[in-house]
Structure 1
Amino acid sequence: MIAVTYVVGLILALAAACALYRVARGPSILDRVLAVDVILAIIGAALATRMVVTGNLDNLIFLVVASVLGFVGSVAVARFVTDRK
């Protein structure tokens, strides 16, 4: 179980590094917003992984808040972009 936890952590860290690169180098604002949304999804996956490994639900509220923030942020940017056209 510990080896699986390390592998999942490594995959999430690599995904976060790639998303941070896209935030820094994204050619458009939409690429940057999408990358931030991906980072929030990675944070949610890390929290869920930690809850599975430890067996408690202490971080459940943080998982819900990160998910809601990602959703609301994506919808707000999508509405802003469609209104600009």
Structure 2
Amino acid sequence: MTVVFTLTLAMLAAAALLTTLRLLRGPTTLDRITALDVLVVVIVCGGAVYVAVNRDSSNIPLLAAVALIGFVGSATAARLVERRERHR
């Protein structure tokens, strides 16, 4: 199982790196918002792998809260960008 967890964390790290590049380079604000949302999901997935490796379920509510805050933040930011584009 250690090999599976190591490969999973390596793939999550690669995804986080590529997402960070999109976050920094993104030509539009919506690209950056999407990249930030994906980065939050990757972090939550990394936390889930940590929970699985250590068999400690005490962090699951924290993961749910981070995912919820990331979703609400992304939806709010996208709504604000859409309003700004409509008023141009």
TM-score by length of 2: 0.89
* Cα pair 1:22 1:31 within 8 Å, conserved: yes
Calculate percent identity across the aligned residue pairs: 35
Q: Structure 1 unaligned segments of length 5 or more: list them.
A: none
- Aligned-partner SS, 1:58: helix
Q: How far apart, CA to CA, are the structure 2 residues paired with 1:77 and 1:49?
A: 28
User: Quick check: 65-74 or 12-21, which moved more?
Assistant: 65-74
Q: What's the CA shift for 1:58?
A: 2.5
Residue deviations 1:40-79 (CA, integer Å, cap 9, x gap): 0001101111111111113223201210111111210222
Could you say which residue in structure 1 is the equivalent of 2:75? 75
TM-score by length of 1: 0.92
1:8 aligns with 2:8: yes
1:20 aligns with 2:6: no
Q: What code does the residue aligned with 2:19 have?
A: A
**Cα RMSD (Å):** 1.1
Q: Structure 2 unaligned segments of length 5 or more: list them.
A: none
Could you say which residue in structure 2 is the equivalent of 1:57? 57
